Structure 1
Amino acid sequence: MHKDEKERKKRRDRYLVLILVGLALAAGRIASVTSREGDTAFLSANDRSRWCTVAALVEDGSYAIDRFTEIYGEKRNRRPWYSIDMVRHRGADGKLHYYSSKPPLFPTMVAGVYYAVRTGSGLTLTDQPIYAARVVLALVNLPLLGLFFVTMIASIDRLSASMWARQAMSLATIFGTMAIPFSMTLNNHLVAVACTSLVVWIYLFASDKSYSSVEDRSTKVRLEWYALAGLAAAFTAANELPALSMLVLWFALFAKVDSRSIAPFLGGALIVAAGFFGTNWLAHQSLRPAYAHRGVGAMVAELGVQPETPSVDAVQAALFAKKAIAVNSEVSVEPSDEENRWLVRSNDDQLFALLRGSSNEWTLSHWDDWYEYPGSYWQTGHRRGVDIGEPSRWVYFFNMTIGSYGIFSLTPIWLLLPMGFANGLGYVPSNERRFTLAVLIASITCIAFYLARPMIDRNYGGVSCCFRWVLWFTPLWLATIASVIDRLAMRPRGRGIFIAMLVISIFSMSMALNSPWQSPWIYKFWSFLGWIAG
């Protein structure tokens, strides 16, 4: 065996051991995951929302989750399936129902896994919400985690020059990010991490082929790889809306590497788009995701300029005139959560919005705020803690970067990103330079997007072990800092700096092994010191 081949085999053996250890750690957490009350394997409202959809599809053949939100546990006042992450709107049967607010594509796919588990073992989520959920989690999340580990380490092996850098980056991949904590719960973030890592690997693979083919030492990349890249990039965006920015950039990057990639990449992306909008239509009879329904629909009638709120009789007459309600229907007018808006409800649960304009002109529109319903957590006065939202964008930026939910404070290896961007935009091959520029653009775009959100959305991702909305950047950022680790590996001091960063990153990860749905350890410590109120 050639010396280089022996060295590669040694590296693969080391990688395999690390990957198996990481998967074993995740499997152990999945095998023991239990809610705080001990009656399910659901850890938060976030994953309960998805579990409701999964169970409803298989057990009821519907996306409506009403039955599951009303299941009571051994403690009569506890509903173990209930979630705040749900919406209410009229279903295909003409009646109001509750639905998960999460995009239905991924839960629909998980439902297929649950169907196989129920058929093969007889386990059901409603009867065995601990063990059935653990089996489904293992079958869904362990392959996703494995995909991230394998493709990311393969990418690092291409990008890193020294053995020390490869080993250090492999440790960072497996233990230095929040991927393992999010493997014990049903969520969109692990999916996005795994899919992004797959696209990174395909891009690096295609880039190497393009350079080699110039020298006539390699064949062209098969078109199936480009289709897979398009599918994975689009599926990332289907699970993380801001990743749409990176989807567009991925298209441009692959087109530049190989013009043959355009059609298969678009084909893969279109498959995901069809699934995303198709399942959304099946669930909600709307192409817009549930979280986009926070206002009013089409106008029904104009009531003209009036100095005071129109009477119930006037509202009812206007709806009668437009045949929006039956002749024998009666309506009531209720206060709404929004200023200058009232909820109009008929006795058969038809919903309309009574709106006052700036010049006291009044109109009636169809109701389209799926988050405003009796008992909704998302109404003003009901939200608590971080869900109230951060009023100051400067404070929000501080905490999302170096503060209590900090990208850099919780995972210090990302402090190397500025150097990574500088290296990647310097004198390097053009494909690598374009990749670095794309990651930089996407990073800035997404951070700006989160900062620009209204106060209700400036909540750090809710109660979570990190600023989870950027977790899908993990493979992109690991690839970006690979060149920096090579430089640090040249000197003992550089190696020591990275080890210190990695140790703190691993510490943050380990603090979240009970559940990713808990406040970061920095937030808890600052609360203990009294620096954070409440």
Structure 2
Amino acid sequence: MKQGSAPKKTPSRREREFAVMELIILCAAAVNAVLGAGDYSNNDAENSRLATVYSLSKFGVWHIDRPAGEDPIPFEQGTIDKVMVNGHLLSSKPPMITLWMTGEYLFLNRVFGWDLDDDASLDKIMRFMTMTLAGGSYLLVGVFFAKTQRLFKTDPLTRALLLFCVLFCTQLWGFATHLNNHVPAAAMLMASLYFAIGLFKGIHRPRLWRFAAFGLAGGLVPTLDMPATVFVAIAGLYLLVKFPMKTIAASGLVAAAPLLIHAGALWISTGDLRPVQMRDDVYLYEASYWRNPQGIDALNEPKGTYLFHMTLGRCGIFSLYPILLAGMAGAVRALARPRMPAREFILAGALGFIILTAYYVLKTNNYGGEAYGFRWYIVAMPLLLLMAEPIFETMRVRWKWLFAGIMIGVSFYSAFECARQPWGANREWTCRLFLGPSYGVVWPENRK
């Protein structure tokens, strides 16, 4: 990585050719996001959010149960992602995306007359929400990933290759066409890192709007995927050291806006500022699924076993997407070479990834539930590929490129499988071929 700014010059033919290739990759991602956006699929995550959208839009309340004698809210009985707070059922999903979905639904209802009570409208509503929230975020990941690579004057071939990898060789591909919070969180994280790196290295002028942009994107991350806050916190510390006043005045104040909305929604709905994920008691009401969880949710493996399977085993980020190992190789090289360009950023990213991993090992037990791969790592995947850039920049011999090609091929296949069906445990090829299912049996269609 070559750092710093340089006088503008006319792009070479090679630069222009690979810029076109990047544009083609982004266009392919856009087509995937639009054409692949799924209909209503009746899964727990969708039903949990839709129940809240229904309740907010029809009754103006957050709880998803109705008084005795009234019809139940559609979707509520189709989800296990709910808690009991102050005598009412609530979705256990973070409120920010649900608020956005409610706004979209009110718009669609007023303009097109689409209604959640109508089955035909429901599919259209879900496609629109998926395209805007998941698909739009997927494209933002690609755009800010490419822009961040340009901050370091990355070689055009490496730039195009890693852009392809982030969009089509990770779990982002599969989850870009299904409603979730992980891809939007990855988009906001990439945007915040782009502004933080550009400002810290002096590549961008320290204008207040850039600090505000960092604050807005960074402030949205904890409202979408709370554990991913570790990466924003590290980036914020870098800016705070170099630009204390602008970071506090612009970034801090703007970041407060989404955080206050998030806190306000929690307070109105639960009477508590703590996310429900931090309150075990609200999951254990009398009729709760979580009093007697089944399948993958009932796992109680030793922490060492759990760590192995979430990194290198059946759900492993590095077994399913081995190209991400290049990011860890970049961290090892940065640790060993004090003068390596961008060393501080790579080591900071590795530290954040280690903290994120430790959190999930200590606080979870079910690999993200019924999903293809360890979905909670989605937010970190673009960052790992950014950390891999020095490895690709220095590859000069054929066998290294051949090895990288195999890693990309395996990662692409895993991403393709995830795109076909991102929800459902034990669908991974690692379960079918090597390590067996985490519980029960492998899905019948995957035994072949």
Change (3 A) 1:428 1:57: farther
Q: Which residue of 2 aligns with 1:357?
A: none
**SS state at 1:99 partner:** strand
Matched, 1:415 2:325: yes
Percent of residue pairs identical: 23
Q: Which residue of 1 aligns with 2:20?
A: 13
Q: Deviations over 1:126-172 (max 9, x none)?
A: 21221221122222222211111111112223336433212211210
**Contact 2:15 2:156 (C-alpha < 8 Å) held by counterparts:** no
Aligned with 1:477 (options 384, 401, 420): 384
For residues 376-525 of structure 1, the aligned pairs below 5 Å read 376-379=288-291, 382-425=292-335, 426-428=337-339, 432-453=342-363, 457-488=364-395, 490-519=396-425, 520-522=427-429, 524-525=431-432
**SS state at 2:420 partner:** coil
2: CA distance between counterparts of 1:26 and 1:43?
20
**Contact 2:81 2:91 (C-alpha < 8 Å) held by counterparts:** yes
**Contact 2:44 2:81 (C-alpha < 8 Å) held by counterparts:** yes
Higher helix share: 2
- The alpha-carbon deviation at position 374 of structure 1 amounts to 3.3
Matched, 1:83 2:79: yes
Q: Deviations over 1:300-330 (max 9, x none)?
A: xxxxxxxxxxxxxxxxxxxxxxxxxxxxxxx
Could you tell me which amino acid in structure 2 is paired with residue 443 of structure 1?
F
Change (3 A) 1:433 1:53: same
**SS state at 1:378 partner:** helix
1: CA distance between counterparts of 2:437 and 2:250?
55
Aligned with 1:268 (options 240, 254, 263): 254
2: CA distance between counterparts of 1:399 and 1:445?
17
Q: Which residue of 2 aligns with 1:60?
A: 59
2: CA distance between counterparts of 1:159 and 1:2?
16
**Contact 2:213 2:251 (C-alpha < 8 Å) held by counterparts:** yes
- The alpha-carbon deviation at position 531 of structure 1 amounts to 8.7
Aligned with 2:279 (options 283, 289, 293): 293
Could you tell me which amino acid in structure 1 is paired with residue 311 of structure 2?
T
Change (3 A) 1:279 1:514: same
Q: Which residue of 2 aligns with 1:375?
A: 287
1: CA distance between counterparts of 2:105 and 2:65?
19
**Contact 2:170 2:321 (C-alpha < 8 Å) held by counterparts:** yes
**Contact 2:327 2:386 (C-alpha < 8 Å) held by counterparts:** no
**Contact 1:51 1:186 (C-alpha < 8 Å) held by counterparts:** no
**Contact 1:417 1:477 (C-alpha < 8 Å) held by counterparts:** yes
Q: Deviations over 1:67-113 (max 9, x none)?
A: 599467xxxxxx686210001222xxxxx321101121221122112
Change (3 A) 1:19 1:257: farther
- The alpha-carbon deviation at position 267 of structure 1 amounts to 1.4
For residues 181-196 of structure 1, the aligned pairs below 5 Å read 181-196=174-189
1: CA distance between counterparts of 2:259 and 2:424?
33
- The alpha-carbon deviation at position 475 of structure 1 amounts to 2.2
Change (3 A) 1:279 1:69: farther
2: CA distance between counterparts of 1:9 and 1:51?
45
**Contact 1:184 1:515 (C-alpha < 8 Å) held by counterparts:** no
2: CA distance between counterparts of 1:112 and 1:527?
46
- The alpha-carbon deviation at position 529 of structure 1 amounts to 5.8
**Contact 1:50 1:186 (C-alpha < 8 Å) held by counterparts:** no
**Contact 2:141 2:186 (C-alpha < 8 Å) held by counterparts:** yes
For residues 150-169 of structure 1, the aligned pairs below 5 Å read 150-159=143-152, 161-169=154-162
Q: Which residue of 1 aligns with 2:117?
A: 126
Aligned with 1:97 (options 60, 65, 88): 88
Aligned with 1:221 (options 206, 210, 216): 206
Could you tell me which amino acid in structure 1 is paired with residue 109 of structure 2?
R
Could you tell me which amino acid in structure 2 is paired with residue 238 of structure 1?
T
Q: Deviations over 1:495-534 (max 9, x none)?
A: 2111111111111111012332122413540589679654
**Contact 2:65 2:76 (C-alpha < 8 Å) held by counterparts:** no
Unaligned stretches of 5+ residues in structure 1: 35-40, 73-78, 91-95, 213-218, 295-368
Task: Report the count of equivalent residues.
Answer: 426
1: CA distance between counterparts of 2:146 and 2:354?
25
Could you tell me which amino acid in structure 1 is paired with residue 34 of structure 2?
A
- The alpha-carbon deviation at position 252 of structure 1 amounts to 0.9
Q: Provide runs of 4+ in structure 1 moved above 6 Å.
A: none
Change (3 A) 1:125 1:417: same
- Between structure 1 and structure 2, the one with the greater Rg is 1
2: CA distance between counterparts of 1:56 and 1:514?
31
2: CA distance between counterparts of 1:11 and 1:257?
34
**SS state at 2:85 partner:** strand
**Contact 1:399 1:406 (C-alpha < 8 Å) held by counterparts:** yes
Change (3 A) 1:100 1:71: closer
Change (3 A) 1:293 1:253: same
Could you tell me which amino acid in structure 2 is paired with residue 375 of structure 1?
A
2: CA distance between counterparts of 1:55 and 1:435?
43
Change (3 A) 1:423 1:207: farther
**Contact 1:159 1:479 (C-alpha < 8 Å) held by counterparts:** no
Matched, 1:149 2:142: yes
Change (3 A) 1:70 1:62: same
**Contact 1:253 1:435 (C-alpha < 8 Å) held by counterparts:** no
- The alpha-carbon deviation at position 42 of structure 1 amounts to 3.2
**Contact 2:184 2:224 (C-alpha < 8 Å) held by counterparts:** yes
State TM-score, norm by structure 2: 0.88
Unaligned stretches of 5+ residues in structure 2: 1-7, 442-448
Higher strand share: 1
